[in-house]
Amino acid sequence: MNKHRKNKKSLINTLFIIVIAIIGYFATQNIDQKNTTSTPDTKIVLSNSIEQRPLTFKNERQMVVAPLDSLGRAVNAHIQLKNSQEPKVKREPLTVDPVGWHNYNFYYKSNSGKVEKAWLMSRGHLVGYQFSGLNNEKRNLVPEPAWFNAGNYNGMNDSNTASMLYYENRLDSWLANHPHYYLDYQVTPLYKGNELIPRQIRLAYVGLDQNGRTIPIKLGGGREKVGTAQTTLVTLDNVSPNAIINYATGTATNTVKKGY
């Protein structure tokens, strides 16, 4: 009798262990299924996902500007042109503001050591007006500090290799020196998440002969890298040494004091 009871108890324990194991198995399967269930991708497609590649050669002037994204930000601007196809129309004043635009009259320290004031921000063209002929076109505008855009806090300095102007003027000269060739020039703002102001601007440029064969262009400046299809890539920081920029909103704080 005792032996029978022991066998019965042993059988019950075994069945209990099997039931627990089965429950654990299905519980694990449910957890795994929850973890692998796909959810809709609601992320904004950022401009740094834009493909970097020359436009298809058509032996004609081409200008392609991407639509604004859902935050109203400029995404990409791309041109292919010869020197003779540069705009001849007189540039009109800028009257539109890109998203995130704010401006401040900030102190800066000049080369002479004197502390002066100048407006911090510019409405920066992705593809410069000297190529595009586009001025009041939001799809081609982003907020850029004057120091980054024009190479100086006040006025212009195209020897500043951290500025857009350094590359724009040298590309313009390349076109003038190669009147029968095309320039393919793509400019892409690089944003972090949903920030309104790009943290960087990516330039991609290459020459094309009359048959569409690529001709690498090297401008110096210490920032050039090799891109797709023999293009030259340059990535520039959208900054100004006299300010801390809040890229999420476009506001800024002056880092130079009046009595510096």
Query: What is the residue extent of each domain of the chain?
Result: 1-37, 47-254
Residue-wise pLDDT for 126-156, tens only, equals 999 999 999 999 999 999 999 999 999 999 9
Which of 25-29, 33-37, 101-105 tops mean pLDDT?
101-105
Mean pLDDT, the chain, integer: 86
Q: Using CA atoms, how far apart are residues 137 and 94, in angstroms rounded to an integer?
A: 9
Q: Which residue has the higher pLDDT, 62 or 91?
A: 62
SS (H, E, C) the chain: CHHHHHHHHHHHHHHHHHHHHHHHHHHHHHHHHHHHCCCCCCCCCCHHHCCCCCCCCCCCCEEEECCCCCCCCCCCEEEEECHHHCCCCCCCCCCCCCCCCCCCEEEEECCCCCEEEEECEEEEECCCHHHHCCCCCHHHEEEEEHHHHHCCCCCCCCCCCCCHHHHHHHHHHHHHHCCCCEEEEEEEEECCCCCCCCCEEEEEEEEECCCCCEECCCCCCCCCEECHHHCEEEEEECCCCCEEECCCCCCEEECCCCCC
The confidence band for 49, taking pLDDT boundaries of 50, 70 and 90, is confident
Q: Is the pLDDT of residue 6 over 50?
A: no
Q: Is the pLDDT of residue 5 over 70?
A: no
Residue 130 burial class via C-beta count within 10 angstroms: exposed 0-12, middle 13-18, buried 19 and up: middle
What pLDDT was estimated at residue 48?
Answer: 67
What pLDDT was estimated at residue 224?
Answer: 98
Q: Is the pLDDT of residue 251 over 70?
A: yes
In words, the CATH class of domain 47-254 is alpha beta
Q: Is the pLDDT of residue 17 over 80?
A: no
Whole-angstrom CA distances from 173 to 18, 106, 145, 148, 181 are 81, 33, 24, 20, 12
- Span 235-242, average pLDDT: 97
Give the largest Cα separation in the chain, rounded: 111
Q: Using CA atoms, how far apart are residues 250 and 142, in angstroms rounded to an integer?
A: 11
- Side-chain half-sphere CA neighbours of 147 within 13 A: 18
- Span 43-62, average pLDDT: 80
What pLDDT was estimated at residue 36?
Answer: 27
Q: Is the pLDDT of residue 37 over 70?
A: no
50's tokens: 């834009």
What pLDDT was estimated at residue 260?
Answer: 52
Q: Is the pLDDT of residue 166 over 70?
A: yes
What pLDDT was estimated at residue 163?
Answer: 98
What pLDDT was estimated at residue 236?
Answer: 97
